[in-house]
Structure 1
Amino acid sequence: MPYHLRFFFEYGVDTPLWPGPAHAADFDSPYGYPCALEALPLTPVTRAELARLAERYQTSLDWDDPGGPSPWTPAQTEAFLAEADAALEVLRRELGAGWTVEDQRVPR
């Protein structure tokens, strides 16, 4: 059975990886819900980059005014999106052909 992950960022969560559709409605994924980076067959460098991006994403929200505008400038947003794109590419390459990583980020 191929492995399926979903890739997106969520406020208050320290990973951008979530179980695929087979485990999305329940919490029985062998990798956790959301996925624990250390449980996945990734290099330490990739794990660290995914964790760094998830942590950085938290700063895109004004926690004192969550319904207000993001404190990020357009340049910061574009830089983050480019870094996330690069991390997703590395993630897919490291996991290989037996894995599907679905990009579920909001389209630009």
Structure 2
Amino acid sequence: MVHCLRYFFEAGVDTPLWPEDMASPYGYPCDLSRLPISEETRAELAGLSEWYQSSIDWDYPPDPSPWSDDELQAFKRRANAALETLRRELGAGWVVRDESLL
């Protein structure tokens, strides 16, 4: 069986992982503690999700992001590195689709 996850960041959500199957045993959105990954990777994914929340102007969310271009590029680099690590740790039997719009 192949497990399929979608990878993207969402306002107000503490994980960037969403199973394709809403009835997944990993939760919807995905509960990072249920995945067979290292604690370091869990912490990085949770930290990125928390950091992403600061990209939104919570006083008026439709406004442009308060992030500078440098901060956006730094976030993209870490998010891409975390995705590569996640794919490596999950290994065969897992597909993680990058659906981030960063």
TM-score range, shorter chain: over 0.9
Q: Residue 3 of structure 2 aligns with which residue?
A: 3
Q: Residue 81 of structure 2 aligns with which residue?
A: 86
1:21-67 alpha-carbon deviations (Å, 9 max, x no partner): xx1xxx31110000000000010000000000000000000100111
Q: How does 1:1-108 map to 2 (within 5 A)?
A: 1-20=1-20, 23=21, 27-106=22-101
- Root-mean-square deviation (CA, aligned residues, Å) is 0.8
Q: Which amino acid aligns with 1:6?
A: R
TM-score normalised by structure 2 residue count: 0.97
1:95: Cα distance to partner? 0.2
What is the aligned residue count? 102
1:64-88 alpha-carbon deviations (Å, 9 max, x no partner): 0111111000000000000000000
1:11: Cα distance to partner? 0.3
**Identity within the alignment, %:** 60
For structure 1, the residue ranges without an aligned partner over 5 or more in a row are none
| CA distance in 1 between partners of 2:85 and 2:65 (Å) | 27
| Segments ≥4 residues shifted beyond 4 Å | none
Q: Which amino acid aligns with 1:58?
A: Q
